[in-house]
Structure 1
């Protein structure tokens, strides 16, 4: 009966989250006070309350409270299966990305979670978090910190033969070198990423990232025709995964390629195409 009540209380809290956040927060906290144990229903309720509270903090831009929530609930999550624990930690960290100006906090919390994953001997989660940290360093333009971590990950991933994560890290390596202006090394890393991707199923979002990077490097070489073809693939990939910002960026590169080729008619046609109309806006 208590478990049924908790399920209903979580639904009530979700309804209150916008207009009565304090009441919703208290409901979530009450449920989270009791560890879930091994009961499936209780575990689902705990997960629902945890994510509900995290989303509430996100929506109200309570960055410090969200950071504390991540750190305070990690040990409880060890009672879940390892895959579930890893998923919940990643989902909680994802909530930060919707809050502006939180990059430094994201880096600090991710580092803390990496240390925790090491202490729990959760190698897969630690790898995933280190890849996340590389991306955060790149956002901060701390490229040499990114490379240090990338080099460590590459050695480990090649030894473990984890091709999918290897593709992701090699793509990040290419982006870092490109950002540093070292196009030859950026191209070499991208070639390695595409070679690794050829032997494993590559999710659409990752494939779009490979195409986007390929387009940018071809554009660096002045091969705008080939770059354009890659940007088309990237845009379609991002569109299929509901990534409008990235799809818009790919479209902008497509237009730039046509401008650089002095293909004025193509620019006009592209501007009135379904692709341009789909992502029309202030950008």
Structure 2
């Protein structure tokens, strides 16, 4: 389906001379019906029957550049299918250079010259989607084909298609971790799109901008870009695939703010939409993020007990129980290494086992370390497990040697000292480090005097009231003078 912008790029030569132009004559209709493309159809079928990509490529290339140069409706439809098949064949045969120059080279030049601009834009975007789906890991090739198309669009003065391809290029650069280049491209593109008020492309571009700022760890700008994307999305119809990406990004930002309940609800919305579309590749990360939120939220609630002064804060299996998320039809459908990795992390968190956690990280490096969000928050989870283990070790003691704690934790002494001092400063427990004796002295939690706390709040409020009245009196005095 072409966008509103692409629909504007029509071939004016193909339009009728006036609104009152007469319909096509019966002779013209008969000519279209009698268009002989049987040889082209046979050539396309023979190319499809070939198993080897290297055998398909010459047949498809000859179809696109056949000597008769037929570009009627039937011939154009066959040649369009040939372009798509040729893109797939190049990807299967790993011909990177040919894929990059496919659309802008001689192979498709005659075909593009004889179809409308809207049709050309549709074919270009479809080929880009095919290349991305057939070679998802070949990011350099995807960036190369995008740059070639952008240069070609500038020569042909096809602004709407260029903007579409630049948005795709920014997304590819983001996947390559080239955040600076991607952000510069997005900023220029947004300036143009705001003048044209292309809502659909604004939604997608602001979403890419939000992802880039998140990659740069600039959360305020990431939230602002996502808000702009949602604002534009409210005024148009948004496809479920794009809406799921907006919900996914909302969940990511709420996870960064440690609002795990809200983040889980956004991830669930995105997961359900992708599950209905049967897009397992994109649904699996949503499921992983849902499991991550459950784990972090459960462990936070369990570790929060120690901050309230309850001795022996322990997390039980029910605190980080994610069994309900990975059972039933969906659990069977999405079973795999990614789900197994998160289940193993949940098992380590439920037992507060730092050793088990590190074993899981070593066992599933691809599933846990390549995702930006999971990698960042698993680092936070490790710190929480380390603090939890230290609290469990020191809670029976009022005074314990730091070397004994380091031995039980199987860690070096300087790391344990640094972590204990950090926990004391953060108020995780009350105590001091006696480095002269190499001991940790733990104080008992004192009962809070609620009357004293209430009195201090009253004094604080009275102070603010008196300060406000004093400011007003000063203003009245200045007016009287």
Match in the other structure for 2:86 = 53
Moved more, 94-103 or 249-258: 94-103
Of residues 311, 321, 326 in structure 2, which corresponds to 1:271?
326
Match in the other structure for 2:40 = 6
For structure 1, list consecutive stretches of 5 or more residues without a partner in the other structure.
none
1:202 and 1:53, CA in 2 relative to 1: closer, same or farther beyond 3 A? same
Say which SS state the counterpart of residue 205 (structure 1) adopts. Answer: helix
Q: How many residues align?
A: 281
Say which SS state the counterpart of residue 71 (structure 1) adopts. Answer: coil
Match in the other structure for 1:232 = 268
Cα distance in 1, alignment partners of residues 136 and 200 from structure 2: 30
After TM superposition, the runs of 4+ consecutive aligned structure 1 residues lying more than 6 A away are none
- Confirm or deny that 1:254 pairs with 2:290: yes
1:254 and 1:58, CA in 2 relative to 1: closer, same or farther beyond 3 A? same
- Confirm or deny that 1:34 pairs with 2:66: yes
Match in the other structure for 1:165 = 201
Higher relative contact order (CA 8 A, sep 6+): 1
Moved more, 67-76 or 123-132: 67-76
Say which SS state the counterpart of residue 70 (structure 1) adopts. Answer: coil
Larger Rg: 2
Cα distance in 2, alignment partners of residues 22 and 145 from structure 1: 36
Bigger fraction of residues in helix: 1
Deviations 1:160-197 (A, max 9, x none): 11111101111111111111001111111111111111
For structure 2, list consecutive stretches of 5 or more residues without a partner in the other structure.
1-34, 299-317, 339-481
Deviations 1:64-105 (A, max 9, x none): 222232222453213211111011112222333222652222
Do the aligned partners of 2:87 and 2:102 also contact (CA within 8 Å) in 1? yes
RMSD between aligned alpha carbons?
A: 1.9
TM-score, normalised with respect to structure 2: 0.56
Task: Give the superposition deviation at 1:265.
Answer: 6.3
- Confirm or deny that 1:191 pairs with 2:227: yes
Do the aligned partners of 1:28 and 1:53 also contact (CA within 8 Å) in 2? yes
